[in-house]
Amino acid sequence: KRNSKFPQITEEHVKYFKQLLGAESAVIDGVTKDATDDLEPFNGDWMRKYRGHTKLVLKPGSTEEVSKVLKYCNDNMLAVVPQGGNSGLVGGSVPVFDEIVINMSRMNQIRSFDEISGTLVVDAGVILEVADGYLGERGHIFPLDLGAKGSCHIGGNVATNAGGLRLLRYGSLHGSVLGIEAVLPDGTIVDDLSKLRKNNTGYDLKQLFIGAEGTIGIITGISVLCPQRSSAINVAFFGLESYEKVQLAFKEAKGQLSEILSAFELMDSHSQDLVHNVTKNKRPLEREHPFYCLIETSGSNSEHDNEKLEKFLEYVMENDIVSDGVVAQDSTQVRSLWGWREGIPECLGHWGGVYKYDLSIPIAELYDLVNETRDKITAAGLLGDTPDDPVVGVVGYGHMGDSNLHLNIATRRYDKSVEKVLEPFVYEWIAKRSGSISAEHGLGLAKKNYIGYSRSQTMIGLMKQIKNLYDPNGIMNPYKYI
Ligand code: FAD
Ligand code: 2HG
Ligand code: ZN
């Protein structure tokens, strides 16, 4: 239900914002002129699952403008939703009712880069791929990579604490983000844009913004430590006969490839069948296998790396851990092999809706959930090839190296009968193993009712106290997880 403490937007509000930001690109306004169509992309999410009804999208161009916008909203009790590239997967970036969208796309400048320390300072609205391209020209790499890189913002990445494909190597943003500039709801600019690696002077408050999903303030600037770009990159793609063998391969990869291992990704045959169904691309391996892994190595000496990789391949083949494999011969093949992994989320959306679960539990049991879920969906008669069957496939894939599984149920339409089989079953299954119901995507709207499966009442209580301290009027991303 819409909270009536938030007033409707009036012409007077719109007038203020227009004066502040400029009438043109700054404000898309469905109140004073009929521009409903223009608002569509800001109201709907990437999965086509959540839809809000904002009548106002504001695009501030500077930290000062964000500050003035938020102060005005706070003084007038106007609810807001911070929005980056709108690629989030939990419904956090779109309004639930008519909250004002504060879209960060105009704050898209790279502020500075220090080639010696590798410290990059950017506006929050810089697109991840743009930053990575800029760094590439300077021999560096952004410490995060993910399938949505062409549209997601670094501010959105930090607000969700995105994990991605190379967390195994470069760690979480909680480690690589050195500083944050953010605006609190009352307009206060928090300037903690440190460029220092070490700074133990009191509480590390910037950490609160990392993963807060826009509930306590708006991130406007970020400084991040970027590693050196590796000159030697290898990608291998394997087929394996069981999940037990996948685990053995992971153990060997860590042991034998050690410091050059930069990604270890898992894909089951069900995910690869659906990708093939959509792209019709030639499969990397001759024969089909129940499981596939993608391994990436990055190092500074290709001779050394090749030797290590070859030895590893010999070992896993000879010891019957891996049944078949291919190593990319050039950068085109590197991209094409990655496509079988990175392309999964997009391909799964081909039929209609996808139910997504993003979980972390100890690695030994990780894949059991996919099998059990598929059995339940099959037993309920929901999975099949005809248009009457709502489910197209139950697939598992993810960041094996981080014990992070993506369980996806691809459907022809979002359907209550499917949802009933999945929830709370999946959450209970995870809670029984003390796992996380949200390993890397956040809670947003999708998981707001399930936080108790992974967090104690004491922890939730502390989170609420922090929320109240930073946002006493509750204008920041309301109706979401907190
Ligand atoms: P949005 O979707 O716009 O917003 C996400 C949340 O952050 C919202 O709650 C919003 O209110 C808040 N927010 C946005 N900007 C700000 C800001 N400046 N200040 C405060 N709050 C803000 N995630 C992973 O972790 N790993 C992956 O591998 C991964 N792969 C993906 C692949 C695809 C194809 C897609 C579509 C998504 C993927 N994601 C992944 C989801 C991931 O959360 C987002 O892609 C990304 O981190 C969100 O960035 P965004 O700019 O699109 O944020
Ligand atoms: C990935 O790893 C993303 O590809 C998306 O985190 C996962 O869509 C998903 O469930
Ligand atoms: Zn992921």
Kindly report, residue by residue over 55-111, the tens digit of the pLDDT. 999 999 999 999 999 999 999 999 999 999 999 999 999 999 999 999 999 999 999
The CATH class given to the 233-344 domain equals: alpha beta
pLDDT score of 418: 97
Extract the tokens encoding 157: 């990445």
Ligand 3 centroid to 258 CA: how many Å? 22
pLDDT of residue 23: 73
SS3 at position 161: coil
**Ligand 1 mean position, distance from CA 447 (Å):** 15
From residue 58, alpha-carbon distances to 10, 30, 41, 71, 325 in Å are 15, 12, 13, 14, 50
Window from 36-45, 296-305, 463-472 with minimum mean pLDDT: 36-45
Secondary structure class of 228 (helix, strand, coil): strand
Q: Which atom of ligand 1 is nearest to the CA of 158?
A: 47
Question: What's the whole-number average pLDDT of the chain?
Answer: 96
Kindly report the CATH number that applies to the domain delimited by 349-441.
3.30.70.2740
- Rounded to the nearest angstrom, the distance between the alpha carbon of 165 and the centre of ligand 2 is 10
Is 80 exceeded by the pLDDT of residue 281?
A: yes
Mean pLDDT for the stretch of residues 328-339: 96
Task: Taking residues 114-123, report their average pLDDT.
Answer: 98
Q: What is the pLDDT of residue 482?
A: 82
Distance separating alpha carbons of residues 331 and 136, to the nearest angstrom: 15
Q: Across the chain, which distance is largest between two alpha carbons, in Å?
A: 74
Query: Of 358, 400, 407, which is best to mutate to test ligand 2, by the most ligand atoms within 8 angstroms of its C-beta?
Result: 358
- Sheet containing 110-114, strands listed edge to edge, beginning at the edge strand earlier in sequence: 110-114, 119-123, 218-225, 177-183, 189-192
Confidence of residue 342 (pLDDT cuts 50, 70, 90): very high
> Is residue 395 a contact partner of residue 432, using CB atoms and an 8 Å limit?
no
Given a cut of 80, whether residue 32 has pLDDT beyond it is no
State whether the beta carbon of 266 lies less than 6 angstroms from ligand 1: no
Mutate to test the pocket of ligand 2, among 87, 89, 370, 437 (most ligand atoms within 8 A of CB): 89
> Is the beta carbon of 408 within 6 A of some atom in ligand 2?
yes
User: Whole-angstrom distance between the N-terminal and C-terminal Cα of the chain?
Assistant: 15
Atom of ligand 2 nearest to the CA of 407: 10
Using the predicted structure, report yes or no on whether residue 31 has a pLDDT greater than 80.
Answer: no
**Can you tell me whether residue 205 is helix, strand or coil?**
coil
Is the pLDDT at 200 greater than 70? The verdict is: yes
Q: Give residue 103's identity as a one-letter amino acid code.
A: N
- The dihedral through the CA atoms of 13, 15, 17, 20 has a sign that is negative
Element (H, E) at 219: strand 218-225
Q: What is the pLDDT of residue 35?
A: 58
Who's near 151: CB < 8 A, 6+ residues apart?
85, 86, 87, 127
CB of 356 closer than 6 A to ligand 2?
yes
Given this model, what pLDDT does residue 481 score?
84
Top mutation candidate among 406, 407, 411, 422 for ligand 2, by most atoms within 8 Å of CB: 406
pLDDT 10s digits, 376-395: 999 999 999 999 999 999 99
Residue 261 reports pLDDT greater than 70: yes
Sign, CA torsion 217/200/441/456: negative
* Domain(s) of CATH 3.30.70.2190: residues in the chain: 233-344
359 CA to centre of ligand 3 in angstroms? 10
Q: Are 177 and 158 in contact (CB under 8 A)?
A: yes
Q: What is the pLDDT of residues 436-479, one digit of tens each?
A: 999 999 999 999 999 999 999 999 999 999 999 999 999 999 99
pLDDT value of residue 22: 85
- pLDDT above 90 coverage of the chain, percent: 94
Outline which parts of the chain fall under CATH 3.30.70.2740: 349-441
Residue 310 has pLDDT above 80, yes or no: yes
C-alpha–C-alpha distance, residues 408 and 330, integer Å: 31
Atom of ligand 2 nearest to the CA of 348: 8
